[in-house]
Every structure is written in C-alpha cells, then in structure tokens.
Homo-oligomer: A and B are copies of this chain.
C-alpha cells in the first residue's frame, strides 16, 4: 500500500459512522470506544470538516444525540445524517403512507407522516420488535398491495452490542424480499443518495472526503462507490476476515478512531 501521506492527501472532510466507531450500544445505552471521545474533539478542533453518517434506526436522531452527549461526545443533531429523516422526505415526495415495522424508539420521527390505509411498508432496525407477529403483519400488508413497496432503513447484516453480535435490519429485509418476491429500496448507507446528502451537508466533494466506519461493505464499499476514500476501524463489528474481503478493499485499516484521527491530522490536506 502507498504511504499514508499519499493515501490521505487532499482530504478536507470526514464522515464518521457512529455505532462501532464512536461507541458500542448495549445495556444501559452503551459505552464509548476507548479514545473516541477525545478523537472526535480533536477532529472538530482541526481544519477538517466533520459530519456523522449513521444507519442507526432504533432511536430517533434526538435520542441518539442525547445518548452520545451523555457518553461525552461533542455532537449535535444538525451534524447527523440519519435514515429516518431521509425516509420521511421520500414518503412525502411520493405520497406514501407507511405501515411501520420499527422500534418504538424511532416511531416519533414519523409523527408528521400519514399512516392510515398504508400503501407501503417501512422497516428499520426493530430489535426485539422483530417478532413473528410483527413480521407477518408487514408481510401481509405487502401481499395485499398491487405493487408492493418496501423501504428499508439500511441493509446492515449485523452490528455489535456490548453483549455480542446482533442481527440488523438487512437480515429481516431479505426475509420480506424473499417472501414477497420483491426488492426493497434502501434509505441509508450504502445508498449513494444517502452519502451524497451527507457530503452536501458538509460542503465537501466526494474526492475530498473520507468515510470512517466499522462495516466493510456498508461504510467502506458504499463510500468508495461514491468516489470517497474510506478507512475501516478494527472496532465494533470488524472481523479479521474483513481485511481479506473478496470485493472491498479499504484505503486503510486502523485499530480505532483515535488512530484514524492521528493519521488524518498528520497527513490530510497537505
């Protein structure tokens, strides 16, 4: 691989994944990943632009930010690109009335959206709410539609909680896709529209931006397909086999966000 100086040259903006990079969720909210609170602070004191780009869909953006602030992070709602608000925009534009297969924590994001007589299903990381009954209700709703529309907030395979790996919305999305013989529309990483809206909010071109995430496919592969560079951290859901992924090769692998920030502050935009 090229030297870090070459790999990070010209970077002006940084997109940070949240879960598995800033903190690990779990019992009692979760715990910060060692060094990440300080790393975010250092990044925000630098000349680099910073934005958070998450597929978190169990919590509203307000709840997520409040949790992260309690854990010590300098972060505000306006700095976060998240799939629920992006989905609401899609629903409004297309006159879609969703049946929601979501966690109660994120339901408030859809308060302004008409939900009677649904003509689509919106699914998110519902966690324990992925009961057979709730899955079946979403399935039946789709099967009753002439042209079933399924919108999924992300398509992650799993994420890491303090207690271990947990199934993410992508697994359940595949279940409904197969059962109904349809393909879901994904709002969130790795959808290019989602990355682009984060870049636009940050005011940085793709070739000047770098994504830092723990998901080799959703974060790294997705960002690279948009023309960004991307680092994978060895925290969160990272697994050693990710470094030998058959399709995706990160622009660099770092132990954690702190190491990524060290390298960025040393080499970026020089």
Contacts and interface: CB of A to CB of B under 8 A. Distances in A.
A4 to B, nearest CB: 30
A134 to B, nearest CB: 10
Given A139-B158, A174-B174, A132 B167 contact: yes
Interface residues on A, range: 20 to 34
Oligomeric state, in copies: 2
A177 B132 CA distance: 18
Interface in A138-179: 139-140, 143, 157-158, 164-168, 170-172, 174-179
A129 interface: yes
Nearest to A133: B128
| Chain A, interface SS category | helix
A135 interface: yes
Interface in A178-196: 178-181
A135 B130 contact: yes
A179 B165 CA distance: 10
Contacts of A200: none
Contacts of A131: 128, 130-132
Contact of A171 (B128, B140, B170, B178): B178
A179 B127 CA distance: 14
B165 A143 contact: yes
Contacts of A140: 164-165
20 contacts: A126-B132, A127-B132, A129-B132, A130-B131, A131-B132, A135-B167, A135-B171, A136-B166, A139-B158, A139-B167, A139-B171, A143-B158, A143-B165, A157-B181, A158-B179, A170-B178, A170-B179, A172-B175, A174-B174, A174-B177
